[in-house]
Structure 1
Amino acid sequence: WLDVGRGAARTLAATPARRLAVVGALLVLGWGAAARGRGNGAAPTETAGTATTERRTFTRSLRLHGIVEAIRSYTVAAPRLAGPGLNSLVITKLVPSGSQVKKGDLLVEFDRQAQIKTSLDRQAEYRDLLEQIRKKEAEQGAARARDETELQQAENDMEAARLEMRKNEVLSRIDAEKNAQALEEAEARLAQLRETFALKRRAAEAEVRILQIQRDRASGAMRHADENAGKMSIRSPIDGLVVLNTIWKGGQMGEVNEGDEVRAGVPFLQVVNPEAMQVRARVNQADVPHLVQGQKVTVRLDAYPQAVFAGRLKQVAAIGVTSGLSQKVRTFAATFSIEGGDAKLMPDLSAAVDVELLRLPDALVIPRDALMFEAGQAYVQVRSGGGFSKRPVKAGPMSDHEVVVESGLAAGNVVLRRARAGGAGA
């Protein structure tokens, strides 16, 4: 080829007819070389790559996305306090998020000054009411003694009037009428005193009862204030990791800090056991048949891409829920246990779960983009000499990126990969 080229160059200075003949010969030789190249197989282009077949373990997996949650945890909420007007509490001490705590360690402390003041106020009120009741009972005792003396005197007057009535037979008519009138007046006075004293006793009992009710209320308020003061400190019932929840505060979502107000009953903190965590994910109904309890999975945290954890499928919900986009598509909740523990495992982190659906050891594997089809027959382009030749193969299980070749290739063969749009193949 080089000699022909040099000869052609020397003849370029010849006549125009000879020059045209030489150019034609060069074109024929170039076409023949290209034809020989096509006959041996297409050579890889700049936008195509190659891959070497190898035997190794082939796996096919299903990727799911879910949220990390604790299996064993303790939720801390702002305590609900007894008594009116106690809707929010101010945090004075708070364990930072991510802290390791032991059972009995202080987690959070709220301002207890209001509870202490309420307890002291109710205690003073309670003692004052006790004194009022004692004084009222003493006054009523003295009044009762006076009333009983007056009542006894009225009874004596009535008995004396009756004795005088016995003398009426020997007295004049006028004196007899006077005695009868005196007896009538004595009986009327006695009846009036008895009725008046009964009303006075009921009124006195009502006054004391009112004070007793006020005393009991003050006692209850004092007891509630003491109990509320005891709720101002919350300690951890378990060993674990502190995780602060995101709550609505100050017009936006955020974690609580010391000095913040928290409404009663709002959960704002968790103590989780990082040694027992799981991932809860949703599975499309089409993928549910591929899941079996106990399947091995690999868990990766979106926040920590380098962190990889082994796990297993715990369970799949028996009832699915419809999607908001289509009533025909259902998803099922699935939980995956995470083996081992790590400080990075915290609730509410997003995670990817790869469920191993198939494992084939010692399989001959090629990239999926190296497999091509023609008239229903799978084939690959195998390096042969200076080019590539088409070779039929039998394809086995596939994943998103790889395919198992059951026959037609051997380990070490170099196969051509389809060109990727916009660049060279890997």
Structure 2
Amino acid sequence: MKKKSLIGAGVLVTLLLVFFLVRQKASSGTNEIVMPVKRGNFKVEIETTGELEAKNSVKILGPTRLREFEIWQVVIQNIVDEGTVVKKGDWVASLDPSTFQTKYSAKQIELEKENAKFIQTQLDTTLVLREARDQLVNLKYAVEEKRIVLEQSKYEPPATIKQAQIDVEKANREYEQARENYKIKQRQNSEKMREQSAVFRKVQDEFNNMTTVMAAFTINAPEPGMVIYTKGWDGKPIKAGSQINMWDPTVATLPDLTKMMSKTYVNEVDVRKVQAGQKVQLGLDAYPDKKLTGVVARVANVGEQRPNSDSKVFEVAVEIDGTDATLRPSMTTSNKIIAKSVDDALYVPLESLHNHADSVTYVYKRNGMKASKQEVVLGDANNNDIIVVTGLAENDEVYLSVPPGMEDATISLLKEMDGKRKKKTDEAQPAPAQNTPTASLSNN
């Protein structure tokens, strides 16, 4: 009997070893991974990549009035290296003045012509008025001569005296007419001079303005600071050979490095979760060990299409806490926006979730040596995990893949969800037809 017992025990141990070896082999062949349901602080985080820029900066502008001369774009000939520290008044860049130079030279010639016209009009006016004054003097002498003849004819016959009187009156009349004509000529020539002077001043003012604009093609720093290239419409920094347009003639900026921001973009799916005031954790590619904190300052209301991207994104500005002398514009940042934080939450990996055709969400739950389909009600999610509101308990275990033979298993539904499903089903079904008089007539 003792020998039989030992043999029986050996057979049992052998069977158990074979069972565990087969089970282990089956498990390794299907790569079943089981994860526990965790409880703890759950953060809804949105991870993005951003770029540092100064919160406040002074723009270094090119000529701002070129649109008045129908010049819309200008090429940068030379510019200082990005990152150069300059003082107020230091040279920053030079622009190509060739297109404007042509207009400037034409305006200079026009000014010379108008100046010549002004002088010519002045000389003509002087000559005309001088001739008119000489004529007045001569007519005055003629009046005096006629009066002398009249005085000497007092002993002449009446006809001769009458003729002399008529001659005096005619001379006086000619003199008065000449005086009136002289006044009119004065006014006429004064208006001619006023008109020519206005044209000349207009051209001279335009030339003076163009001279000021010409000087602006050499760009100097308006304030001390570090030169940072501005970016064009394609997102690339403006440099020598680039064009600037006259709607925004910014060549570079002088940022205030004491207060920095990270400009990032959030896709249209996640932007509804982002609000001003949310905390942000930041990292720097240039300094992997450095950790920064910040807060969402603003979220754009309108989306945009970024280069090399098919989806719409919304610009988000993150203001960085404190001051750090190592921060520089255009440094790449990794931003982790904490959209929501839930204390004492149950959560599972996103990979453990499955959906049924009737919109039931479930997981494969481990029950000892077996598995079952368990319906779950979900809450907020982040990039890796999702909150389970109902359906699982702490330390329950879920499969990340479908266990063998469980594809067609029955789902264990939650009782508290039955009422909602029934209501939803009833709303989806059409209402039964009623016996109306019209229906009765048609049936008969």
Structure-2-length-normalised TM-score: 0.58
**In the alignment, what sits opposite 2:330?**
346
Shift of 1:186: 0.9
Unaligned residue ranges in structure 2 (runs of 5+): 306-311, 355-360, 404-444
Conserved 8 A contact 2:298-2:318: yes
The one-letter code of the counterpart of 1:264 is M
Tell me, what secondary structure is at the counterpart of 1:155? Answer: helix
Conserved 8 A contact 2:146-2:168: yes
The one-letter code of the counterpart of 2:240 is E
Of 64, 69, 90, the match for 1:80: 64
Residue 215 (structure 1) aligned with residue 207 (structure 2): no
Of 244, 261, 265, the match for 2:230: 244
What CA deviation, in whole Å up to 9, does each residue of 1:229-249 have, x standing for no partner?
A: 33123325352451332247x
Alpha-carbon distance change, 183 to 314 in structure 1, aligned in 2, over 3 angstroms: same
**In the alignment, what sits opposite 2:426?**
none
Conserved 8 A contact 1:158-1:186: yes
Q: Whole-Å Cα distance in 2 between the matches of residues 254 and 182 of structure 1?
A: 93
Conserved 8 A contact 1:280-1:335: yes
Residue 355 (structure 1) aligned with residue 338 (structure 2): yes
Alpha-carbon distance change, 227 to 50 in structure 1, aligned in 2, over 3 angstroms: same
Alpha-carbon distance change, 298 to 209 in structure 1, aligned in 2, over 3 angstroms: same
Structure-1-length-normalised TM-score: 0.60
Question: Where in structure 2 are the equivalents of 1:2-401 lying within 5 Å?
Answer: 33=16, 37=20, 44-46=27-29, 47-49=31-33, 58-63=41-46, 65=48, 68=51, 70-81=54-65, 84=69, 86-97=71-82, 99=84, 104-111=89-96, 137=122, 140-141=125-126, 144-145=129-130, 147-162=132-147, 164-165=149-150, 170-234=155-219, 235-237=221-223, 239-247=225-233, 256-271=238-253, 272-274=255-257, 275-279=259-263, 281=265, 288=272, 294-299=277-282, 309-315=292-298, 335-339=317-321, 345-346=329-330, 352-355=335-338, 357-358=340-341, 380=366, 400-401=383-384
**In the alignment, what sits opposite 1:10?**
none
Aligned length: 369
What CA deviation, in whole Å up to 9, does each residue of 1:394-414 have, x standing for no partner?
A: 99997553579997659xxxx
Shift of 1:151: 1.3
The one-letter code of the counterpart of 2:230 is L
Conserved 8 A contact 1:42-1:388: no
**In the alignment, what sits opposite 2:417?**
none
Shift of 1:298: 2.3
What CA deviation, in whole Å up to 9, does each residue of 1:142-182 have, x standing for no partner?
A: 66455434313322432443454456664203312320332
Tell me which moved more, 237-246 or 297-306: 297-306
Alpha-carbon distance change, 144 to 322 in structure 1, aligned in 2, over 3 angstroms: closer
CA RMSD of aligned residues (A): 5.8
Alpha-carbon distance change, 43 to 58 in structure 1, aligned in 2, over 3 angstroms: farther
The one-letter code of the counterpart of 2:330 is M
Conserved 8 A contact 1:140-1:204: yes
Alpha-carbon distance change, 260 to 400 in structure 1, aligned in 2, over 3 angstroms: closer
Q: Whole-Å Cα distance in 2 between the matches of residues 134 and 197 of structure 1?
A: 22
Alpha-carbon distance change, 283 to 154 in structure 1, aligned in 2, over 3 angstroms: same
Percent identity over the alignment? 15
Q: Whole-Å Cα distance in 1 between the matches of residues 265 and 166 of structure 2?
A: 102
Conserved 8 A contact 1:72-1:273: yes
Shift of 1:42: 11
What CA deviation, in whole Å up to 9, does each residue of 1:365-411 have, x standing for no partner?
A: 98676899xx99996568xxxx8999x9x99997553579997659x
The one-letter code of the counterpart of 1:223 is N
Q: Whole-Å Cα distance in 1 between the matches of residues 27 and 159 of structure 2?
A: 155
The one-letter code of the counterpart of 1:184 is E
Shift of 1:105: 4.2
Q: Whole-Å Cα distance in 1 between the matches of residues 349 and 242 of structure 2?
A: 57
Alpha-carbon distance change, 185 to 108 in structure 1, aligned in 2, over 3 angstroms: same
Alpha-carbon distance change, 172 to 66 in structure 1, aligned in 2, over 3 angstroms: farther
The one-letter code of the counterpart of 1:297 is V
Conserved 8 A contact 2:262-2:318: yes
Q: Whole-Å Cα distance in 2 between the matches of residues 265 and 396 of structure 1?
A: 48
Tell me, what secondary structure is at the counterpart of 1:45? Answer: helix
Q: Could you say which structure has the larger radius of gyration?
A: 1
What CA deviation, in whole Å up to 9, does each residue of 1:260-286 have, x standing for no partner?
A: 554433445442445421335558699
Unaligned residue ranges in structure 1 (runs of 5+): 8-24, 325-329, 422-426
The one-letter code of the counterpart of 1:213 is A
Q: Whole-Å Cα distance in 1 between the matches of residues 287 and 370 of structure 2?
A: 43
Alpha-carbon distance change, 178 to 398 in structure 1, aligned in 2, over 3 angstroms: closer
Q: Whole-Å Cα distance in 2 between the matches of residues 284 and 116 of structure 1?
A: 48
Q: Whole-Å Cα distance in 2 between the matches of residues 137 and 332 of structure 1?
A: 66
Alpha-carbon distance change, 353 to 269 in structure 1, aligned in 2, over 3 angstroms: farther
Residue 418 (structure 1) aligned with residue 400 (structure 2): yes
Shift of 1:224: 1.2
Tell me, what secondary structure is at the counterpart of 1:265? Answer: coil
Higher RCO (Cα < 8 Å, 6 or more apart): 1
Q: Whole-Å Cα distance in 2 between the matches of residues 115 and 332 of structure 1?
A: 39
